[in-house]
Amino acid sequence: MLACSVALIQTYSMKFRRIKAEESFEYNLLGVGLIGCLTYHMLLFVPSLETVVHSMIYSSVFEKPDLVPREQAIRDTANPVSIEELRGTAMLYLVKCTLEVCQALLQFFFIVEASRRGPCCRNQARIKPGRSAIVFLLINNLALWLMNTFEFRESENQLLLHRQYYGIRTWPVITCCFIPLIIFFRFHSTVCFAQIWSKLYELH
């Protein structure tokens, strides 16, 4: 997210140019992946927020045997966890989902913005402002694409909190629908950054 902000600031002075029809199609494809990425992280955000709120409001009720909220059922699974650990995990996912959503939106905006810009003079084409940030974003998205690809098979068995919230049958459907879109978003972002890296500083 910081790299996207730096790249936006550094390329802000470059002039706009007209986009081609195939470039707008690439934005549509990237938008599909963005929607999947945002939806998946919002689905992670909701149960995490509910868990944090419930654990804070009903912390004194958890020890009573006659009142067992939804989160207490996780204690009865094969890997029981305490309410404090559950709250800490939920708060971590709240922060993670918030950062993921902000980063994906800012990255999409930068890709669309940078694809429409070009150098306004020879000096700017020689200096290449923002190129190091673009390289960093390219490598970062490539690493995230590889990580998400290799973790796809284990995603159904991870995230105990969310699997308990949505159900054993619903959670695999969610992961099978949205994880491939996240993988596609990261891969297509890598391709877009490679194109930006090669075409952004060409004089027309």
- The tens digit of pLDDT for each residue in 25-35 reads 788 889 999 99
Residue 4 CA to residue 131 CA, distance in Å, equals 11
54-97 tens-digit pLDDT: 878 766 554 544 444 444 444 444 455 567 777 888 899 999 99
Domain span at 74: 1-6+21-200
86-110 tens-digit pLDDT: 788 889 999 999 999 999 999 999 9
How many domains, in total, are found in the chain?
A: 1
Q: Residues 39, 42, 46, CA angle at the centre, nearest 5°? A: 145
Alpha carbon of residue 167 to chain centroid: 23
Average pLDDT, the chain: 81
Across 94-118, b (16+ Cβ under 10 Å) vs e yields: beebeebbebbebbbebbbbbbebb
Tell me, yes or no, whether 83 lies in a domain. yes
Tell me, yes or no, whether 157 lies in a domain. yes
Tell me, yes or no, whether 60 lies in a domain. yes
Tell me, yes or no, whether 115 lies in a domain. yes
